[in-house]
Structure 1
């Protein structure tokens, strides 16, 4: 360890401080670890971004930026930046000598593995898979001819070198073990931490849209990037079916490249008066707390944080049974209806049924509490500190 009186130092490596579920959950985890008395460094290849002001005060932000990471062909490409930051990671490990390093997402994991090898420090390294590796391989944009086989080969070649491997859901763990050809027992599931107390505080803030307070028809809320993964095209078709049976309004909070396509679909379906897409909401919790229903229409996920956040806000929920996470979060339908991916009629029926079901906010909040920060922090302490975790807990009291 660092010394008899110094607390263990942990480093968490992420792709940056841009908007995203990985960033939000890793910031929550970093704060939770620091609150336990650990010295925590958050490593990023660029310290700019919307989430910079959300870095906990007791966490040290370390900018790994180097001249090559600022080149135009690299700085805007998250994948390339993650793979090419290995020398900067190595320099940090040699200089700071943390007790352990935790990395998040497959490209960052590879950068961490290569950085640890370059450093030659033997730093304990825990890598975490945040989404389905098989889907990531399909969507790979590595700038080489055979990019999909290459990403699969890289994970098979280097992932086994990690001291521990984490997945954020059992579904992600199963997929990772199969694709990376790892023994399933090598991959441990640790659910992402959700700061329920923070969500409840922010939920009391003013609503981000007037529909949520005007006493009109029910408001259905969806949250996420306007991207193919979230499949808002199916949600819009399903919502059109809902309107055939009852009045309602749909509020989609998020921004992304598919905005023109979705706006054209709204116009084509004649939904302009009852669908609003006001953009990214810094505080979606105030909307979820006032919504009549939260709907997640994703094609794939890892462990969808917005679904847990909706439960924490006491909201009724409907979700696609996509790989991976929704079935685990909702306990296979006990806490919200699950429907097949891409099935607009089934999604519409589930939405209609949910709107007719009496809400039970306390039950939903109790379910969200199963994904608490203390549980995640305890699990990561064991993985990062190994046998020393027991000594640290005893010393910390």
Structure 2
């Protein structure tokens, strides 16, 4: 396959969007495409995971707004066939930069969040106004890719984008590397096979969006009924607040805020139940990853993604956002269940190969048929 693709991001810090874009860049390059990963600032946890086949272009500016003139110059000099961007503020910058460049490069932007929900929960003026900037800018993109049908519907009904201009492509989450990494030994002794106490697992940034406060409170209720432990993987501004809450609830001895892990997958494979407690999402990758590892799952029915992933409860319990009692009941039921659905089967609908083929269909229309390699015979062997 031939062609020249650019992917624009602020950086490759440790967020879900950045991880997805690095995966796509690497896979595009493996297929013989020339790939430029254009970063406002070449820094972040995923920089070491960028393939040597991908050309990293460092614009060398600390803010996305400052990157616009340099991105326009890059487009004029490099003239890629298509450019993909992700994250709302970077998408708006990419739209402006293409207009300034004066060249005809196909521009596809990726929206990963329900902007209506994000705007209503925004804590800064910039975040509150982002929905307005997006509404003005996105019509000038050639196409918008969303990570879930819920996000797609929000753009069409909430922002008035043409449904012909928006497509849902599920994130590239599951690949052979994830499945192999899940088989590695888990670092935490709470997860050892000889431990009789079940472990509830949460994964994500310690921020209001992930609502680990509700998870902690629900866990404390389950803890009143039976021996159980809770591990949360992730870092963020609410670390000390969550530690304080665990102490107030009297469960600090059975709770570990274990920090960010490069490889959370063995934890997912060995946990007794994985819980997504988020107040809102776009398409929660951690939920899909846990399912790929075979973990029984409980999730809030938040906008958007969990109901799509779990097919309205077929593969795991959906509970109302912030409902401590319902979450505690669902966790207890999952721990007590002798029969669990084979969630790894559903996770195979979110493979990297399928996502790469779908992205290329939109970025380079007519590039050729994509026949993703199947992982459906994988058994996580929990």
Corresponding position of 1:326: 306
What secondary structure is seen at the aligned counterpart in 2 of 1:288? helix
Greater alpha carbon shift after TM alignment, 199-208 vs 347-356 = 199-208
Across the aligned residues of Structure 1 and Structure 2, the Cα RMSD in angstroms comes to 1.8
Corresponding position of 2:171: 192
Corresponding position of 1:72: none
Corresponding position of 1:3: none
Structure 1: runs of 5 or more not aligned: 1-5, 70-74, 76-80
The structure 2 residue matched to 1:385, chosen from 330, 340, 364, is: 364
In the superposition, relative to structure 1, how do residues 142 and 61 fare at CA in structure 2: closer, same or farther (>3 Å)? farther
Is the 1:11–1:98 Cα contact (8 Å) retained in structure 2? Answer: yes
Is the 2:183–2:266 Cα contact (8 Å) retained in structure 1? Answer: yes
Corresponding position of 1:141: 124
In the superposition, relative to structure 1, how do residues 63 and 358 fare at CA in structure 2: closer, same or farther (>3 Å)? farther
In the superposition, relative to structure 1, how do residues 351 and 151 fare at CA in structure 2: closer, same or farther (>3 Å)? same
What secondary structure is seen at the aligned counterpart in 2 of 1:85? helix
Deviation of the 1:60 alpha carbon:
1.6
Deviation of the 1:360 alpha carbon:
4.9
What secondary structure is seen at the aligned counterpart in 1 of 2:201? strand
CA displacement 1:24-50 (0-9 Å, x = unmatched): 111111222222221111111111221
Separation (CA, whole Å) in 1 of partners of 2:261 and 2:309 = 23
Structure 2: runs of 5 or more not aligned: 372-382
Corresponding position of 1:127: 109
Map 1:24-103 → 2, pairs under 5 A = 24-65=19-60, 69=61, 75=62, 81-103=63-85
What secondary structure is seen at the aligned counterpart in 2 of 1:366? helix
In the superposition, relative to structure 1, how do residues 112 and 140 fare at CA in structure 2: closer, same or farther (>3 Å)? farther
Is the 2:209–2:278 Cα contact (8 Å) retained in structure 1? Answer: yes
Greater alpha carbon shift after TM alignment, 82-91 vs 113-122 = 82-91
Separation (CA, whole Å) in 2 of partners of 1:353 and 1:320 = 15
Corresponding position of 1:277: 257
TM-score by length of 1: 0.89
Residue 105 (str. 1) matches residue 100 (str. 2): no
Separation (CA, whole Å) in 2 of partners of 1:61 and 1:167 = 25
CA displacement 1:65-112 (0-9 Å, x = unmatched): 1xxx2xxxxx3xxxxx22331112111111111000001111110010
What secondary structure is seen at the aligned counterpart in 2 of 1:90? helix
Deviation of the 1:393 alpha carbon:
6.9
Deviation of the 1:62 alpha carbon:
1.4
Is the 2:174–2:292 Cα contact (8 Å) retained in structure 1? Answer: no
In the superposition, relative to structure 1, how do residues 140 and 247 fare at CA in structure 2: closer, same or farther (>3 Å)? closer
Separation (CA, whole Å) in 2 of partners of 1:101 and 1:360 = 43
Deviation of the 1:222 alpha carbon:
0.4
Is the 1:103–1:109 Cα contact (8 Å) retained in structure 2? Answer: yes
CA displacement 1:315-348 (0-9 Å, x = unmatched): 1000000000001111111111100000000000
How many aligned residue pairs are there? 369
Deviation of the 1:359 alpha carbon:
5.5
Corresponding position of 1:258: 238
Map 1:148-159 → 2, pairs under 5 A = 148=128, 150-159=129-138
Separation (CA, whole Å) in 1 of partners of 2:4 and 2:123 = 34
What secondary structure is seen at the aligned counterpart in 2 of 1:23? helix
What secondary structure is seen at the aligned counterpart in 1 of 2:55? strand
TM-score by length of 2: 0.92
CA displacement 1:211-255 (0-9 Å, x = unmatched): 011513101110011111110110011011111221110001111
In the superposition, relative to structure 1, how do residues 372 and 360 fare at CA in structure 2: closer, same or farther (>3 Å)? same
The structure 1 residue matched to 2:15, chosen from 5, 14, 20, is: 20
Corresponding position of 1:229: 209
Separation (CA, whole Å) in 2 of partners of 1:181 and 1:140 = 24
